[in-house]
Amino acid sequence: MHHPTICVLAVSLLSALPGAQGMYTKKSPVLQIDAKNYDRLIAQSNYTSIVEFYAPWCGHCKNLKPAYEKAAKNLEGLAKVAAVDCDDDANKQFCGSMGVQGFPTLKIVRPKKGGGRPAVEDYQGQRTASAIVEAVVQRINNNVVKLEDKNLGKFLSDKNDTAKAILFTDKGTTSALLKSIAIDFADVITIGQVRNKESKTVETFGVDKFPTLVLLPGGDAPGVVYDGEIKKEAMVKFLSQAGEPNPDPALPKAKGEKKEKKSSKAQAKATSSETSSSAAESQSETPTQQAPVIVETALPIPAINTPEKLIKECLTEKSHTCVLAFVPSSEDEKAKEALASLSELAFKHAQSKRHLFPFFEVPKGNERAASLLKALDLSNDVEIIAINARRGWWRHYQAADFGRVNVENWIDAIRLSEGVKKKLPEGIVAISVEEQTPEPTPEETPEPTPDVTESVSSEETTPVTLEPSIDAASDSSESTPTQTVDPTVEPETAAETPIKHEEL
């Protein structure tokens, strides 16, 4: 006969086992969710998600766990990989409402374009990491605008005051990486993609290496070329100069603002409900929840290292205003102060959507820089000037230090056309160079990026969806879905290496 105390002890010990708390811990790349936070974290998410409905005692669920966690690592930053413990009493009714009849059950949740409830479909593929990644990547929404020579003008002129970014690539498909970035910046920065065969567009921006990412801050501000690695975190930081990425999940305040006519009693009840729900969610959410990276500090201003680049950016007949910081070395103390001030000012104006002329660091080792300084009779270790070759004037920064306040006052004076402008000496403007590069638009600040191998899978064939601003002819010829072809994913062994988004 079994002693009742022993039975109670056994039950207590079993309930204390990790499996009883859910198979996926806070350290797991899989996001552990429940009935209370599913709607906010998954259904209202901007990202495509895959959700596993499991029971800790299920043998097939335990067998799936390694592959599922491996898939989560590979999809980090691209999609959400989540799990619900259906053996938890608090989740049983929810699992039933989702049509779960056995374990494990996998469902892919895809946001609906334009809002509304997401599409939910059962995953019926193989229970391997590569197959799961493949299925999820295929269902990532595509907000990237496919650009061609014929629609570039419309793309640039539409909502001209808002920021845009263009990826120049030799690939014919849109990578999961670029799709995820377009989701991050939806309604903030319009993301476009152009192939290297579109010669007119490539020549307009002076791009000669692929991939190259160009940020167009908006208005008359010139483009800025990204020279970092083709990795999501770095690219998001770069684009954040022009606007903050969308939070995910979205901030839960829009609904409250739309229902201002509620009675005070109803509002108090809703507030109380939201507070208790948020408290419950905070205990169950894990740190694996994805959130866009927001730049909190200014990025360094771009450097001009070659004479050709200096001429092309600032010293041709059609060059607009440039601010140039001539420095002996970026490690020099005065140079650090000057560059930091300019960097902070560029960041400040980009965040406030006020578009300034471009700032550039110019090492004094640049031969053209040396001749320009000599022609302007400037000899200090660190010099800052504003120059407008098109109108033939320049201004010299003459304050005793390079602190932000003084530099900002000087920049504001130029922006407001205050103060005296000096006439450029003869021979500064390079007419012949401009004749060889007849780019028509003022946004051209093409800066070749270092050789970076774009290893985003060229076989990922989810169609490029055109924005409403693109003409109908482009829509009909370019955006036909090809859902019968699945994307190719790296072999299983590749997932064991550190995550590299560009390899998806």
| Cα–Cα distance, 241 to 130 (Å, whole number) | 35
How many Cβ atoms from other residues are within 10 Å of residue 126's Cβ? 12
Identify the sign of the CA torsion 230, 233, 237, 240.
positive
Whole-angstrom CA distances from 191 to 290, 457, 474, 480 are: 21, 19, 17, 20
What would the DSSP string read from start to end of 458-500? Answer: TT--PPPPPPTTS-HHHHHHH----TTSPPP---GGGGGSPP-
Half-sphere exposure of 440 (CA within 13 A, CB side): 5
3-class DSSP state of 380: coil
Encoded tokens for 447: 């800066």
Residue 393 has what pLDDT? 93
Residue 221 has what pLDDT? 81
3-class DSSP state of 331: coil
Question: Could you tell me whether strands 80-85 and 31-33 are parallel, antiparallel, or unpaired per DSSP bridges?
Answer: parallel
In the numeric block, the tokens 């269902």 are attached to 139
Type of residue at 12? S
The pLDDT profile of the chain, 504 residues, written as one tens digit per residue, is 444 444 434 434 444 444 345 799 999 999 999 999 999 999 999 999 999 999 999 999 999 999 999 999 999 999 999 999 999 999 999 999 999 999 999 999 999 887 788 999 999 999 999 999 999 999 999 999 999 999 999 999 888 888 999 999 999 899 999 999 999 999 999 999 999 999 999 999 999 999 999 999 888 788 899 988 889 999 999 999 898 999 887 655 444 444 444 444 444 444 444 444 444 444 444 344 344 444 445 678 888 888 898 998 899 988 889 999 999 876 788 888 999 899 888 877 766 555 578 898 999 888 888 899 999 999 999 999 999 998 999 999 998 889 988 998 899 888 888 888 899 998 888 864 333 444 444 333 333 333 333 333 333 333 333 233 323 333 333 333 333 333 333 344 433 433 344 433
| Cα–Cα distance, 86 to 369 (Å, whole number) | 68
CB-based contacts of 161: which residues, under 8 Å, 6+ apart? Answer: 218, 219, 353
Beta bridge partners of 300: none
Residue 365 has what pLDDT? 85
The helix or strand, by DSSP H or E, that contains position 154, with its residue range, turns out to be helix 152-157
Residue 115 has what pLDDT? 77
Quick check: 201 and 167 in contact, CB under 8 A? no
The DSSP secondary-structure symbol of 303 reads B
What would the DSSP string read from start to end of 58-124? Answer: -HHHHHHHHHHHHHHHHTTTTSEEEEEETTSHHHHHHHHHTT--SSSEEEEEEPPTTSSSPEEEE--
Quick check: 120 and 61 in contact, CB under 8 A? no
CB-based contacts of 162: which residues, under 8 Å, 6+ apart? Answer: 189, 190, 218
| Cα–Cα distance, 27 to 478 (Å, whole number) | 43
CA dihedral 210, 473, 186, 348 (to 10 degrees): 60
Encoded tokens for 303: 């450097």
